[in-house]
Amino acid sequence: MSELITYLKQSDIFYQFTQTQLELVANLCQQKSFNAGETIFEENSTSKELYVIIQGEVNIIVDPGLVGTKGKTEKIVLTTLRRGQSFGEVALVDEGLRSATAQAKNKDTRLLVIPRDKLIMLCETYPQLGYRLMYNLAADLAMKIRNTDLRVRERVLYGQQAT
């Protein structure tokens, strides 16, 4: 149990959680291992879990062919996530479809898997925990949106210079 708490402490999404709050979340966690190239979840699949990387790296991949991009058949790695980072967090907000595929980059990639329904129940039972989690989630998503915005700006600016 203490090992799980150590992993949770290293994740930004559980920043400033008390020891008791970390223990409550740790009780929900399952560890799963994946080999290099193994798919964790597919783009356009339903979302019901939050993942925290405790070892290895995870590629977040999109398939341009799924949105009708002509001539694009090669999948694109959007980013590589590392230890302490989380993904699948949008599943906490809604149970929509995954916007990308998550794939283990290294052999023996280990993840903490936290079921959405149990985590939401915990947030409803302990409002301070829920507030802190949603605050951290908003901060994490805001950072990801800013990074995406910078990438889009860079593409637009460099794309305009090339033409």
Digit-by-digit pLDDT tens for the chain (163 residues) are 789 999 999 999 999 999 999 999 999 999 999 999 999 999 988 889 999 999 999 999 998 876 665 656 688 898 899 999 999 888 778 877 888 999 999 999 999 999 999 999 999 999 999 999 999 999 988 988 898 888 888 878 886 554 4
The reported pTM is 0.85
> Domains in the chain: how many in total?
1
pLDDT at 67: 63
pLDDT at 97: 83
Quick one: 58 exposed, middle or buried, by C-beta within 10 A (0-12, 13-18, 19+)? buried
pLDDT at 41: 94
What does the alpha-carbon distance between residue 51 and residue 32 come to, in Å, rounded to a whole number? 10
What does the alpha-carbon distance between residue 147 and residue 34 come to, in Å, rounded to a whole number? 27
Structural domain for 83, as ranges: 2-162
pLDDT at 68: 60
Count of helix runs (H) and strand runs (E) in the chain: 5, 8
What does the alpha-carbon distance between residue 27 and residue 60 come to, in Å, rounded to a whole number? 27
Quick one: 62 exposed, middle or buried, by C-beta within 10 A (0-12, 13-18, 19+)? middle
CATH of the domain at 130: 2.60.120.10
pLDDT at 47: 80
pLDDT at 163: 46
